[in-house]
Structure 1
Amino acid sequence: MRYAIIGSALAGNKGAAAMLESAVQQLGERDPEARFVLLSMYPRSDAEQNTYPAMTVLDASPLRLGVLLNSAALLHRLLPPLRGTIQNAVPEIKALANADVLLDQGGITFVDGRGKFLIYNVASILPAIFLKTPVVKCAQAMGPFREPANRWAARTFLPKMAAIVSRGAKTHEHLEEMHLQNVTAGADLAFTLDVTPEDAAAAEAAVDMSFFAGGDVVGVSPSAVLRKAADARGEDYVGEVARLVDHITGTLGRPVFLVAHSARGNTDKTHNNDLPLCREIQARVADKDKVLFVDAELGSQALRHLIGRCDVFVASRFHAMVSSLATGVPTLVIGWSHKYREVLDMFGLADWALGHDAATEEGVRERLGSLVEQREAVRAQIAERFPAVKAKALEQVDVILRVARG
């Protein structure tokens, strides 16, 4: 089968990388003849980082996607005699036209309050619709659909999907309110990500693993998205996180692993890149010797291996939370969307989620202290629930294969 993939990438957000690599791993295992084309927003970086022989990287950077690929796909639909010429001139159109299915792996799409991303959400799937290539929206957060533009877009395009996989109960509820008939309840495919011995070795080569020897490390994954929101409120997000780290290293007496779970090593741009943020936090902490920060772009498997060495974790990046839960690490979440809580709900751990706009420094410290005290019970609960969550995530592989096989 031939699988086209859009909305994820190897570079930048390592949650997107985890979704992408999980799809390649799981579909490749079920379909030995599988071939993948990644329609990438970062084509150069992704091509450099691609180690999968069965995957080709093509250019779907935002401007090219929105203008060239959508226009070419529309012309392909309207002018059948030119289809061969269009496919030869635009390899991404040829790949889409020849694909058995397009996997849309946008982690969060068609959501109220994210109007500036709505055009990209539509542009990602519209070429496949023009080319009559079936689309599966892999497990992701969607809704609510109350704002007029988002509701119109959802009503127009979501029924055209061959299948939609919700990523939690709240998303599923939003989709059911739209009376869609193509929705399957699921879980994030990144829960199935395999970390090989080679991945673990690469991770351990990047850091001094003696840092984790005491078994008491607290992982902290800040977010450039939360920083932007804090800046808009006139708050000092860098200072808040630095003070949390100081509380952990000082009051709690524990070392901190500072994690840039979105990272683009070749730029200081902050979109999908927490490295500049983590550098600023590291510069402002009081005891730098007790803070491990890898100022480099690590792969999703390497990050999962290192996150799994933590005793507890504080996550503000969604897939940092997924990796901590997947490795059994008790996790406190400071998030900005229903997408965090609905995943924690799968583990019966929604009480460990705090909304960033309501989370005070004192409140975060209190909840973290409680998590440290209750970590063994929480760890046991994660271990009990994880097999069912992973099995639910794997069900979407059956959905994808059913669509691809027609």
Structure 2
Amino acid sequence: MVYDRARTQTSAKKGFVGTLITHFTIMIIELRGVEFVNKGAELMMQAIIKKIREKFPEAILTMQIGAKTPKAKLLQNGIKIKFSSNRSNRIGAFIPGLIRRIAGYYLESEVNIVLDGSGFAFGDQWGATYASRRLGSKISKWHNEGKKVILLPQAFGPFNAAELKMVMKKIILNADLLFAREEESYRHLQNIATFQNIKQSPDFTNLINGKVPEGFDSETYQVAIIPNYKIVESKSANQDVYISFLKHAIDKTIAIGLKPYFLIHEGVKDHQVAKDVNSFLTQPLDIIVMEDPLEIKGIISTAKFIVCSRFHGVVSALSQGVPCVTTSWSHKYVMLLKEYDFHEGLVQDLINYETLNTLLFNLAQPSYRYQLCEKLLQKSKVQKEKSAQMWDEVFNVINNYKKHR
């Protein structure tokens, strides 16, 4: 379970230069639930990497290869490859360890710490099978092997299905720490089991700084429109209603003298929503697609305000003091706005435009916007302090593991 990195020494014994191996142990940490397609998930990945590199610079980070986590991308970010299936682990075990590690491959048995950064993967919407595949099927084995398993701040629940409750109880029993991202998720976990390993802490991407792309013109691009296809897939609204809502928000933003644009936070489906809305506009908007999630966060920081249906788009806005007109398909949006004391930023009825019109009118007023930005920055300071405390707890678990192994 512990990776031994080798130092080499030369020896002239027996008439040739030999290689003697000395060993010292290094933490091998597996990241789960993060990926490169959803820019919120990638932002979480970058936030995790940054904190781990700061605290444990020699730690080895590993992930499984997948459609959303291609090998080239992992290696580009300094992440090694963990064999995913039982078969690949059996085959990998026959390869001499030093050769395999030099090639950048690690066995599941070599992992010490599992950090799960799923944004929202455990609840009735996803079901018991999905929860089991994510963690439930292996977490008891990992616990018995002495691995430390930590679920970083994320949304949970609700858990109404009996089979899902059983899977979640197994996860809670065997995890070292679980962080609910907000109050409602915390209650959902407590309804399964009231254990001390269940904590509450806000989304931790609030601690990582964005970067504004060179040459970005915030006078040309003033109000970001960030769509989310899940508004339709989750049946929070049908496609026509959602597209009409976005069109109305854009028309109203232009009417009050501001310049909107589309900013894509996840892949092809969100991009298609933007194209669909553009097809109804007299003057289609520019659609900005950035590969780097830190640049997306940087662009959001320059906006006068944003209209957003993506959770981490909302976090990136509010945590940087940027007002946000928010649509919702899950309780996580409602609770996030509550944390920033900005309930009026939530538009739940996408058919009645009265709330939207009032909100956009207010946000167009510099004095109103300035006061709101100041309030959001004060709330952000509190949220960042909570995130720092969360990492302290995570590092305490890891350090205790290192002391006692």
How far the C-alpha of 1:72 sits from its partner, in A, is 7.5
Residue 19 of structure 1 aligns with which residue? 44
Separation in 2, partners of 1:157, 1:25: 26
1:280 aligns with 2:276: yes
Are the equivalent residues in 1 in contact too, given 2:320–2:380 (CA < 8 A)?
no
Measured in 2, the distance between the counterparts of 1:390 and 1:162 equals 23
State how far apart, in whole Å, the 2-side matches of 1:365 and 1:239 are. 14
5+ residue gaps, structure 1, are 61-67, 77-81
Q: Cα distance, 1:243 vs. partner? A: 2.8
**Inter-CA distance 359–167: structure 2 relative to 1 (3 Å threshold):** farther
Q: Which runs of 5+ in 2 are unaligned?
A: 1-26
For residue 335 of structure 2, the aligned residue among 331, 342, 347 is 342
Question: Which residue identity lines up with residue 286 of structure 2 in the other structure?
Answer: L
8 Å Cα contact 1:222/1:260 also seen in 2: yes
Which residue of the partner structure matches residue 185 of structure 1? 200
Describe the shift of the 1:43–1:15 C-alpha distance in structure 2 as closer, same or farther (beyond 3 A): closer
Q: Give the equivalent residue in structure 1 for 2:28.
A: 2
Q: Is the 8 A contact 1:307 1:323 kept in 2?
A: yes
Pick the aligned partner of 1:392 from 375, 386, 392: 386
- Structure 1 residue aligned with 2:353, among 337, 361, 378? 361
* Aligned partner of residue 61 in structure 2, secondary structure: strand
| Largest Rg, 1 or 2 | 2
Paired residues of 2:245 and 2:351 also in contact (CA < 8 A):
no
> Separation in 2 of the partners of 1:304 and 1:43?
20
Letter in 2 for 1:177: N
**TM-score normalised by length of structure 1:** 0.80
Which residue type is aligned with residue 375 of structure 1? R
Superposed displacement of residue 175, structure 1: 1.9
CA displacement, residues 208-246 of structure 1 (integer Å, 9 cap, x when unaligned):
x33x227x8222111010132459746343333123212
Q: Distance in 2 between matches of 1:398 and 1:154?
A: 25
CA distance in 1, matches of 2:108, 2:395: 17
User: Aligned in 2, Cα 1:59/1:176: closer, same or farther, shift over 3 Å?
Assistant: same
* Deviation (angstroms), 1:358: 5.8
The equivalent of 2:263 in structure 1 is 259
C-alpha change, 1:40 and 1:354, in structure 2 (3 Å) is farther
**SS at structure 2 position matched to 1:284:** coil
Residue in structure 2 matching 1:213, options 219, 237, 243:
219
Q: Aligned residue for 1:122?
A: 132
Matched residues, number? 363
Q: 2:118 aligns with which of 90, 106, 121?
A: 106
- SS of the residue aligned with 1:313? strand
Pairwise CA distance, 1:52: 2.9
Q: Which has the higher contact order (CA 8 A, sep 6+)?
A: 1
Residues 163, 184 of structure 1: 8 Å contact kept: yes
Tell me how large the CA RMSD over aligned residues is.
3.0
1:12-50 per-position Cα deviation (integer Å, ceiling 9, x unaligned):
111001111001001211112122112354356462375
The residue that corresponds to 2:21 in the other structure is none
Other structure's SS at 1:12 match: coil
Q: CA deviation at 1:286?
A: 2.0
Q: Which residue identity does 2:205 align to in structure 1? A: A
Report SS of the residue matched to 1:165.
Answer: strand
The answer (yes or no) to whether the contact 2:139–2:175 under 8 Å persists in 1 is no
CA distance in 2: counterparts of 1:345 and 1:302, whole angstroms = 26
Contact 1:139 1:167 in 2 (8 A): yes
CA contact (8 A) 2:63 2:80 kept: yes
1:65 is matched with none
Q: What CA distance in whole angstroms lies between the structure 2 residues aligned with 1:42 and 1:323?
A: 26
Which of the pair is proportionally richer in helix? Answer: 1
Alignment of 1:257-336 (within 5 A): 257-263=261-267, 268=268, 270=269, 274-288=270-284, 291-294=285-288, 296-336=289-329
Q: 1:313 to 1:121 in 2, by over 3 A?
A: same
